[in-house]
Structure 1
Amino acid sequence: MRRHRQFLTAMAAMVLSLTACSLVGGPPASIGNSPAADGAAPDGPATGGASATPGAAASVTADPALRDRLPERIRSAGVIRVASNIPYPPWEMYTEVGGEQPTGIDYDLSQALAAKLGVRATFDQTPFDAMIPALLADKADIVMAGLFDTPKRRQSLDFVDYAQDGYSLLVAKGNPEGLKDVTDLSGKTVAVQSSTSEEPAINKLSERLKAAGKPGVTVVRFPGDSEAFLAIRSGKAVARVQATSAAAYAAKTFDNGNAFELVQAPSITKEFGGGMEGIGVPKSDPELLKAIQMALQALMDDGTYQKILAKYGVESIALTKAEINKGTVL
């Protein structure tokens, strides 16, 4: 996530009042130049350092036949480079505020996929709007960031779909504005993360509301989710439009469940899309795409995938088949 250094110090201190820190399983990763971030796993005791307790990958057995399907460059290097954008709980976050050890659905799953393929995975912090360019510039091999598989993104990437999610509104505890569906956003200020699909969707909703003679929606943009959360806490925004999995996790964990609550309605998912989240692979790399698909299916079949989702309380987004480019709007 893009951050200004002078802002980061103040932000980290503020987020400490919102979250507790925890250690959630996952083997060590190569983090590269990942900056300290203010998103941490908020559900247990804190720990320090770059190592973590063994996660799902520890029980995964490598499959030599799947390793043989990897492109030669990855077999030779023994590494899959994963671009991700931290923090975006529960998909990716750090085990403690100011730390460098990642955790989350995507981190755990990336390590398990690499273990199944007989290699290891680095998990590198990348600004959200730089993840796809990083892949296309060969600075990463895949992207795992709770990224929706959309027709626009499929112009440059292929996706191995690994979850199905909808959209909700994250609001302050008690829902002081009484929001029930998307029409209640008329005349309100909504926080979004820059360069996400939510921003143009809210702008489209705003134009439709104004065409109907109603006040539009004011959008405030932030480089990361943590800043958007703070905007709600401080009253600068009334809601954050977010994938239900991430919004539900925030509502459950921030300030021991006392900071936020979820507003769910069919109109919200219909308005903002939802659909399949996928592992992004450059279209120029069909060998890697197929290897990732087969490794993911193996993890689905042996229960590792389900255990990872259950660890973060998001079993409802699970799929049973690892398919390619099946992203559809809900």
Structure 2
Amino acid sequence: MPPSVARFLWRAFAVTALLGLGSARAEAPDLPLGLYPSYPPLDMRDTTTGDLEGFDVDLATALSQRMGMTPRMVETGFAQLIPSLLTGRIRMFFNGMVDTPLRRESVSFVDYLQSGFQFVTLSGDAHAPSSLPELCGRRVAASRVTSVPAELLAWSDRNCAAKKRPPVLLFATENSADARLQLREGRVVAALQDSLTLPWTVEISGHTLQALGEPFHLSPLGIGLPKGDADFTCRVSKAFSALQQDGTYLALIHKWHLPESAALPTQPVPKACTDHAP
């Protein structure tokens, strides 16, 4: 073979190899995922290694891999999750955010859990309320960057004001952990938090905390996605449905000791997604 022909074939092979390598990399693109590690056991840090861990971390990893993408966790404050999605800093987020019509004006959701609200008080405290009506007229903590304060005020309207009792006094905190800190320091008599994590909270506290009343107002929690990107939303929906069907989803529910009521039943993939690639 003449040297000129050999050089041509080698260059052609090298170009083809590089293009093939680029295609292989394109099959597993980077997927930046927003998480706020202050929501155990969904989102938190390992106290020994400092690594992100929790139900959301495991589900996000499994979901990304199912979609053929490489997950990259991006620590993002809860209040910055939606802005980070809108600016493209992240492509999706997990943090147990309640799927509401107002939030759907900015982002799309694929629901993945459900949770309600439940009060928590100190165990063994003679001054702690022993029944729900005793909350009326007293200070109760709730995380200001979530929908919990609105739920607390709505509960107060139904159970206090409507029954001619003084309203609950809202004590707004930075997050749920801060709400429980205010409870321990005696600034409030109770805290309102999501029922999804309350069993874990009570257990990790050594049962120095206790639930008061039953969960109320169960609502869906959503994976946040860019609004208007129907193809990507369908890919996420299909991948999540597959994880439900193959048992991965329930296995993670059990691993992180979430209540069975938190699990969503397997739903058919939306008809609008039928023509989209998996």
State the TM-score, normalizing by the size of structure 2.
0.80
Distance 1:214 1:323, change over 3 A: farther
Distance 1:305 1:280, change over 3 A: same
Distance 1:128 1:324, change over 3 A: farther
1:1-330 equivalences under 5 Å are 75=26, 78-96=29-47, 100-174=50-124, 176=126, 177-181=128-132, 183-207=133-157, 209-210=160-161, 212-254=163-205, 257-265=206-214, 269=216, 273-316=217-260, 317-322=262-267
CA distance in structure 2 between the partners assigned to 1:249 and 1:101 by the alignment: 19
Q: In the alignment, what sits opposite 1:12?
A: none
Distance 1:319 1:142, change over 3 A: same
CA distance in structure 2 between the partners assigned to 1:103 and 1:110 by the alignment: 11
User: Quick one: which amino acid aligns to residue 93 of structure 1?
Assistant: M
CA distance in structure 2 between the partners assigned to 1:294 and 1:115 by the alignment: 13
| Displacement after TM superposition at 1:205 (Å) | 3.8
User: Quick one: which amino acid aligns to residue 222 of structure 1?
Assistant: T
Structure richer in strand, relative to its length: 2
| Residue ranges of structure 1 left out of the alignment (5+ in a row) | 1-71, 326-330
CA distance in structure 2 between the partners assigned to 1:323 and 1:284 by the alignment: 21
User: Quick one: which amino acid aligns to residue 304 of structure 1?
Assistant: T
CA distance in structure 1 between the partners assigned to 2:69 and 2:161 by the alignment: 53
CA distance in structure 2 between the partners assigned to 1:277 and 1:174 by the alignment: 33
| Displacement after TM superposition at 1:166 (Å) | 2.0
| Displacement after TM superposition at 1:160 (Å) | 0.9
| Displacement after TM superposition at 1:284 (Å) | 2.0
Deviates further, 203-212 or 142-151: 203-212
CA distance in structure 2 between the partners assigned to 1:282 and 1:175 by the alignment: 46
Distance 1:322 1:279, change over 3 A: farther
CA distance in structure 1 between the partners assigned to 2:233 and 2:125 by the alignment: 43
How many correspondences in the alignment? 244
CA distance in structure 2 between the partners assigned to 1:225 and 1:75 by the alignment: 40
Give the superposed CA RMSD. Answer: 2.4
Distance 1:191 1:301, change over 3 A: same
CA contact (8 A) 1:193 1:222 kept: yes
CA contact (8 A) 1:161 1:323 kept: no
CA distance in structure 1 between the partners assigned to 2:269 and 2:76 by the alignment: 24
What percentage of aligned pairs have identical amino acids? 27
CA distance in structure 1 between the partners assigned to 2:268 and 2:142 by the alignment: 29
Runs of 4+ aligned structure 1 residues displaced above 6 Å come to none
Q: Secondary structure at the match of 1:230?
A: helix
